[in-house]
Structure 1
Amino acid sequence: MSAPLLQLDGVHTHIGAYHILHGVDLQVARGELTVLLGRNGAGKTTTLRTIMGLWPASSGAIRFDGAEIGALSTPEIAHRGIAYVPENMGIFGDLTVRENMLLAARGAKRVEDIDTACLDRVFGLFPALKRFWQHPAGLLSGGQKQMLAVARAIIEPRQLLLIDEPSKGLAPAIIQNMIAAFRELKQTDTTILLVEQNFNFARQLGDKVAVMDGGRIVHAGTMADLAGDEGLQQRLLGLSLAAHQ
């Protein structure tokens, strides 16, 4: 087996006086979608933010593509090929969709400088963005804003996407559109670490799964194994995935 693209070993994170992550051990396989599950407050978002350097780890090691990145700044981590889509999406509502995309394409000074193949791929995944290209992003629907947030993350080649609850607050029909887009994105061999509370969404997309509780990883394995074991679901998550289909 090849080495994981991302590996966390014994990662602790403190935020002020609060000890949030208590020795997280996590591996994200290259070219796969790993889902990070857990109850509210388990430490999932903190894990993503720690990987991205937004909240520095107090101790432990974070390795990306074989190199230690735990001491790097967020811009340096992004430059290595990691993109982060936060739960609040991070788009600029006063700017147009076009302007949001241009800001995300760091190597471009004009839209014409954006790689045509990348832009075509974005429009293929999210056709609504092409329709609303000149519209202020703040006027988009919740689903369209989420599409824009993901599109900003992939407008340049990335090795790893960190995505926090992309289906939160979306209507069921829009969630299905997002699932279809993520399936297409998976075909490009993009590696994804996804935090998600919608278990049907997670079940349909995940290759691997890690479950957090109390700031630690308490289970890691394949999504197929977790989806097929209701007893394990009840023990780890307090619910059944079947109830969320």
Structure 2
Amino acid sequence: MSTTTQALLTLDGVHTHIGAYHILHGVDLVVPKGQLTMLLGRNGAGKTTTLRTVMGLWKVAQGRVQFGGKSIANLPTPQIADLGIAYVPETMGIFADLTVKENMLLAARGARRAQDMDEARLKWIFRLFPAVEKFWNHPAGKLSGGQKQMLAVSRAIVEPRELLIIDEPSKGLAPAIINNMIDAFAELKASGVTILLVEQNIHFAQRLGDTVAVMDNGRVVHAGGMAEFSADTQLQQRLLGLAL
């Protein structure tokens, strides 16, 4: 990260235990403001645990987590969200029995009725994800996997956020939907949102990533620019067991 780029989120020597298991072993991670940081690694490397630790869903046993220069380690999750951080888990967290509109209204905490939601912001979301508008009054449980993912991201951005944390947004999606998602994230980043993304789809990572951090066995074992990482097939092979 260059000296001119400000870090929005930093993890410094973070350890996390889940029950009897020691999952994170001193994670160091820097997410530069206004950029898209890819968190890569094999299954079980600790990526999801890192995201959940940032959000306070797992407690920091040791180390520091700072957002905008302030400590957020072990704050309650609602307080962390109130700072301007949105989290889209791999499970998406959609309320299947509620309509798309009702799911969005729950996320727009400043609105009590659909009419109270920011109309200009909704139009922007509808342009990013037309399916959200198309199925506005449909039960969310009836949506396809790709449409649910679009709804999950739409809920996360229905209010302005400084940081968007998303776990495997392209998992199980068709290539056309993935390309739509890539375009939407590129526009989100251009609007000034900082994004931290866990992703297995290497095409997705290459197209979007500014910086990359690779995890293995509960630690970050490589961090740097995405372009340099994409060009170094030997490094990819060593860290991920594959080449981009």
Which residue is 1:106 aligned to?
109
Q: CA deviation at 1:2?
A: 4.0
Instruction: Give the alignment of 1:168-179 within 5 angstroms.
Output: 168-179=171-182
Aligned-partner Cα distance in 1 for 2:191–2:226: 20
Aligned-partner Cα distance in 1 for 2:120–2:220: 38
Residue 13 of structure 1 aligns to a residue whose secondary structure is: strand
Correspondence 1:33 to 2:36? yes
Instruction: Give the alignment of 1:206-217 within 5 angstroms.
Output: 206-217=209-220
Q: CA deviation at 1:120?
A: 1.2
Aligned-partner Cα distance in 2 for 1:117–1:15: 42
Amino acid at match of 2:71: E
Which residue is 2:79 aligned to?
76
TM-score, scaled relative to structure 2? 0.98
Aligned CA-pair RMSD: 0.7
Q: CA deviation at 1:198?
A: 0.5
Instruction: Give the alignment of 1:196-235 within 5 angstroms.
Output: 196-235=199-238
Instruction: Give the alignment of 1:37-186 within 5 angstroms.
Output: 37-186=40-189
TM-score, scaled relative to structure 1? 0.97
Aligned-partner Cα distance in 2 for 1:89–1:30: 24
Amino acid at match of 1:38: G
Identity of aligned residues (%): 71
Instruction: Please list every run of 5 or more consecutive structure 1 residues that lacks an aligned counterpart in the other structure.
Output: none
Q: Deviations over 1:68-95 (max 9, x none)?
A: 0002100000000000000000010100
Correspondence 1:17 to 2:20? yes
Poorly superposed stretches of 4+, deviation over 4 Å: none
Q: Deviations over 1:47-85 (max 9, x none)?
A: 000000000110100000010000210000000000000
Aligned-partner Cα distance in 2 for 1:148–1:70: 29
